[in-house]
């Protein structure tokens, strides 16, 4: 029973789609880390600088102002608020994650658009009409081979395609 289960699992796990999905998830996770770093380390600092030296990671709303006043503490960052046990809404982190998501979605959109363009090009190449191999008989309008000199349906004599008739040339 165990051997049968193992063989069934092995055939499932080694299917092309499962392996492709696993590779996609692994590459996607690594790509997500790259985009997160891009947002946090490259995109947001200049935006924060333009907005007056704002660190988006530290943007929050204090939901417990009484607790901070009673403790007599000045809280200037999200980390300090969390250490003090103050309830906060960390909207700056949400902005970072939102931009992160939008960049990932944009990259996936561009990638899918590129892949679709390649697929359409391949389909168009495959669907290109083949050169005709037959033509119509001028007498009975039946299909005959291009090189035929006599119609197989009405037995009329016809000129092969591409051949110049003695009268014309």
Q: What is the pLDDT of residue 70?
A: 57
14 domain-assigned: no
139 domain-assigned: yes
Q: Which of 95, 32, 87 is nearest to 61 (CA)?
A: 87
34 domain-assigned: no
106 domain-assigned: no
Q: Which of 88, 66, 69 is nearest to 77 (CA)?
A: 88
| Those residues with Cβ within 8 angstroms of residue 74's Cβ, 6 or more apart along the chain or in another chain | 68
Structural domain count, the chain: 1
156 domain-assigned: yes
Segments forming the whole domain that contains residue 141: 130-160
141 domain-assigned: yes
Per-residue pLDDT for the chain (169 aa), expressed as one digit of tens each?
Answer: 788 888 888 787 777 677 788 888 898 888 888 888 888 888 888 988 888 888 888 888 888 777 666 566 677 778 888 888 888 898 988 888 888 888 888 888 888 898 888 878 777 666 667 788 889 999 898 999 988 899 988 998 998 876 544 544 4
54 domain-assigned: no
Strand bridging mode 143-145 / 88-89: unpaired
Query: What tens digit of pLDDT does each residue of 18-48 get?
Result: 778 888 889 888 888 888 888 888 888 898 8
Q: What is the pLDDT of residue 163?
A: 54
């Amino acid at each position: 029973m165990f051997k049968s289960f193992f063989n069934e699992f092995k055939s499932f796990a080694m299917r092309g789609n499962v392996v492709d999905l696993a590779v996609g998830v692994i590459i996607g996770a690594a790509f997500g880390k790259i985009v997160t770093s891009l947002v946090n380390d490259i995109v947001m600092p200049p935006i924060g600088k333009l907005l007056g030296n704002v660190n988006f990671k530290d943007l929050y709303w204090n939901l417990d102002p009484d607790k901070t006043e009673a403790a007599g503490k000045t809280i200037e960052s999200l980390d300090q608020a969390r250490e003090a046990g103050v309830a906060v809404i960390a909207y700056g982190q949400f902005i970072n994650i939102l931009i992160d998501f939008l960049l990932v979605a944009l990259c996936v959109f561009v990638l899918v658009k590129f892949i679709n363009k390649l697929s359409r090009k391949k389909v168009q190449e495959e669907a290109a009409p083949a050169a005709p191999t037959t033509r119509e008989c001028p007498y009975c309008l039946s299909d005959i081979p291009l090189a035929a000199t006599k119609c197989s349906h009405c037995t009329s004599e016809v000129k092969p395609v591409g051949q110049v008739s003695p009268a014309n040339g």
